[in-house]
Amino acid sequence: MKIRRYEEKDLKQIINLFYDTVHLVNRKDYSEEQVNAWASSDERETKFTAWGDSFAQNTTFVALSDHRIIGFSDLSSSGLLDRLYIHHEYQRIGIASALLDKVESAALSMNIKKLRTEASITAKPFFERKGFQLITIQNVTKNETTMPNYLMVKTLV
């Protein structure tokens, strides 16, 4: 596995990975209605613009295996760990940990002392193991469907 900075050419693979992960991995913790709202096929085209702009502004990393993107994560300048998704065939083998290490190193180099994230039910145990503390349970509404997530923070040292 190799981790490198995001390049514009990565966007299509990242968006496909996001949709597959939500529908195949997060589906165990969310209803079909919730995953369809979270990763709606109707929004796929608009994600190219919105996420492309966001990834360009954020510090974004991709994990690759044989030139295939198997995970990605991004960090805003305010310390928001916005997205961390791992390909459904590569779960639980250290990719998320490696990406989080890169994000934390980047945060420290940017003088960011505290990370925050809005973790899914699925990701919450991972973030807890990595030292994130639960601040609050949130109910977010997407496409008229409500689903829980967890606002979590980690102080970097």
H/E stretch holding 150 reads strand 145-155
pLDDT at 157: 86
Give me the CATH number covering residue 98: 3.40.630.30
- For the record, the structure tokens of 71 come out as 């995970």
What residues contact 116, with CB distance under 8 A and at least 6 apart?
79, 80, 81, 135, 151, 152, 153, 154
Confidence of residue 12 (pLDDT cuts 50, 70, 90): very high
Q: Which residue has the higher pLDDT, 125 or 49?
A: 125
Query: Each residue of 109-129: pLDDT tens digit?
Result: 999 999 999 999 999 999 999
**Which residue from 106, 96, 112 is spatially nearest to 156, judged by alpha carbons?**
112
Per-residue pLDDT tens over the stretch 78-92: 999 999 999 999 999
Identify whether the C-beta of residue 151 lies closer than 8 Å to the C-beta of residue 54: no
Stated pTM of the model: 0.95
Task: Give the length of the chain.
Answer: 157
From CA 157, how far away is CA 155, in angstroms rounded?
A: 7
What's the pLDDT at 131?
A: 98
Per-residue pLDDT at 33:
95
* Average pLDDT in the chain: 96
Q: Into how many domains does the chain fold?
A: 1
Higher local confidence (pLDDT), 126 or 47: 126
Per-residue pLDDT tens over the stretch 127-139: 999 999 999 999 9
> What does the alpha-carbon distance between residue 59 and residue 77 come to, in Å, rounded to a whole number?
8
Whether 42 has a pLDDT exceeding 90, the answer reads: no
Does the pLDDT value for residue 44 go beyond 90? no
- Write out the residue range of the structural domain in which residue 81 sits: 2-155
Could you list the beta-strand ranges (E) of 16-144.
Answer: 59-65, 68-75, 81-86, 114-119, 133-142
